[in-house]
Amino acid sequence: MSYKISIEELENKPSKSMEFHFDDKIEGINSVDNIVSDLKITSLGEFIEIAGNVKGTLILECDLCLKEFEYKLDFSINEMFAKTALQEEYGAETELSGEQFITDLNGEDEIDIYDLLYQSVILNLPNKKVCGINCNGNNFLKEENLSDPRLDVFKNITIEPKNK
């Protein structure tokens, strides 16, 4: 199945909008089941807006104990694409306000929904992946698990306070 939206097809729709349902695995993202997204794609003259919701269950590795755990995804997506080139002095993305960006299509005649969803899922992962509030990751980091004979020299160092 193709996950690319033709801009020409979108423009030829009487409402200049279309619905897109995504229900599939995304390569490079470890998920329990398919990532599901219902998107509305709308032509707004010089811009195209893609808005909707993304859901799924991912398998992440805990940063503290290194065990795998399930993480529920459920977030909104709202992306803007410029059909024609934005001002030349700006790069591929131009910030509108706060967290909203416009991606320049650079003359492309399609929008890759698969790539958009991959990037959106990656950007919505937590910065610190922790399996739960009661994670005993500190057991993993105990001294006996991380003993390195090269560091033994530091065990007997005492630091004397400097008298002024």
Specify whether the CB–CB gap between 121 and 73 falls below 8 A.
Answer: yes
Cβ partners under 8 Å of residue 7, min gap 6: 43, 48, 83, 105, 108, 109, 110, 111
- Identify whether 109 is part of a domain: yes
Print the domain residue range for 127: 4-137
pLDDT, residue 89, reads 45
pLDDT tens figures, 86-130 = 555 455 555 555 555 677 777 778 899 999 999 999 999 999 999
* Weakest mean pLDDT among 3-12, 13-22, 25-34, 84-93: 84-93
| DSSP-assigned letter for residue 162 | P
Mean pLDDT of 5-34: 93
| Phi, psi (rounded to 5 degrees) for 10 | -60, -45
Number of domains, the chain: 1
pLDDT, residue 162, reads 76
- Identify whether 69 is part of a domain: yes
pLDDT, residue 92, reads 52
> For the chain, what percent of residues have pLDDT higher than 70?
82
- Identify whether 129 is part of a domain: yes
Of 46, 48, 45, the closest CA to residue 18 belongs to 48
* Weakest mean pLDDT among 38-47, 105-114, 129-138, 144-153: 144-153
Q: Which two tokens stand for residue 43?
A: 């032509």
- Identify whether 19 is part of a domain: yes
- Identify whether 142 is part of a domain: no
| DSSP-assigned letter for residue 31 | B
